């Protein structure tokens, strides 16, 4: 998914500029279908850190995550077919919620897109969906860790991973439907944000869209009713409320 081209008119004379990290899916380098022949002895190790997500400044959100993520991250829309994403950094593709040891900032919500890694759903024949794993992930092991199979049967680890990925995908599809509806109603507009750190450094981020509140409020009642029935209104308000979180990136605790 490629991010939309957004205007960067009147950029700051100095500072750090960047756009939202695209394309998705991020992180995955060698995803392979999980099967008992290839992965008879394979397993996953307990995750030690989140270093694999250090070099991205945004990840997609499932619809249900917006209500939690708004307390920690600005939520914007990215992509030619816009979907809600959590912004993790401004001014370059760096996740400021990960410290030098690869640990996520204490008490901050970790998006499901990141928690599901190294697993992902893959598609084959029509209507065929199966579990895959990134064999390039540090947590994957071809011969130890928590096993993916118990004989020929999927282990608890594999079954739970499949259930998690399916649930996340269902919420992603709802989030995609939201983005499609917003785009069709012409209420999404391109934006750029400029934030200044405590040390005076000016940082900018573009390549995303937000809901224009005036256009949103001017929509006919019939659309509001339809969106209420589809569960979109709460998601839109969560997005709008999250715009207060840009101040996250001005905190002196965030270092370059």
pLDDT along the chain (256 residues), means of 10: 26 49 80 94 94 94 98 95 95 86 96 97 82 96 95 96 97 98 98 84 90 97 97 98 88 39
* Interacting residues of 134 by C-beta distance below 8 A, sequence separation 6+: 27, 28, 29, 30, 31, 32, 117, 118, 119, 120, 140
Between strands 16-19 and 202-211, the pairing is: parallel
Round to whole Å and give the CA distance between 209 and 164.
Answer: 29
Q: CA torsion 22→182→209→123, rounded to 10°?
A: -10
C-beta of residue 74 within 8 angstroms of C-beta of residue 242: yes
* H or E element, residue 211: strand 202-211
3-state helix, strand, coil in the chain (%, to 5): 30, 25, 45
Residue 19: predicted pLDDT: 73
Residue 17: predicted pLDDT: 56
* Interacting residues of 9 by C-beta distance below 8 A, sequence separation 6+: none
Residue 88: predicted pLDDT: 95
Round to whole Å and give the CA distance between 83 and 231.
Answer: 15
Round to whole Å and give the CA distance between 112 and 168.
Answer: 7
At 91, list the tokens: 């001014």
C-beta of residue 148 within 8 angstroms of C-beta of residue 133: yes
Residue 18: predicted pLDDT: 66
């Amino acid at each position: 998914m490629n991010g939309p081209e957004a205007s960067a008119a009147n950029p700051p004379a100095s500072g750090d500029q960047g756009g939202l990290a695209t394309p998705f899916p991020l992180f995955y380098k060698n995803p392979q279908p999980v099967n008992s022949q290839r992965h008879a002895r394979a397993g996953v190790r307990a995750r030690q850190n989140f270093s694999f997500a250090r070099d991205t400044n945004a990840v997609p959100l499932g619809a249900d995550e917006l209500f939690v993520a708004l307390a920690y991250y600005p939520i914007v829309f990215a992509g030619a077919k816009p979907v809600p994403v959590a912004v993790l950094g401004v001014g370059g593709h760096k996740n400021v919620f990960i410290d030098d040891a690869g640990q996520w900032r204490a008490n901050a919500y970790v998006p499901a897109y990141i928690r599901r890694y190294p697993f992902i759903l893959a598609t084959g024949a029509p209507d065929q969906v199966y579990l895959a794993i990134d064999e390039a992930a540090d947590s994957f092991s071809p011969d130890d860790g928590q096993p993916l199979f118990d004989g020929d049967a999927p282990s608890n680890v594999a079954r739970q991973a499949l259930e998690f990925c399916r649930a996340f995908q269902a919420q992603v599809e709802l989030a995609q439907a939201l983005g499609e509806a917003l785009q069709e109603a012409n209420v999404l507009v391109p934006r750029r944000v400029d934030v200044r750190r405590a040390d005076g450094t000016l940082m900018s981020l573009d390549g995303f869209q937000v809901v224009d509140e005036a256009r949103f409020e001017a929509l006919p009642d019939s659309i509001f009713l339809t969106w209420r029935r589809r569960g979109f209104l709460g998601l839109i308000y969560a997005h709008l409320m999250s715009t207060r979180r840009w101040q996250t990136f001005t905190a002196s605790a965030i270092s370059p």
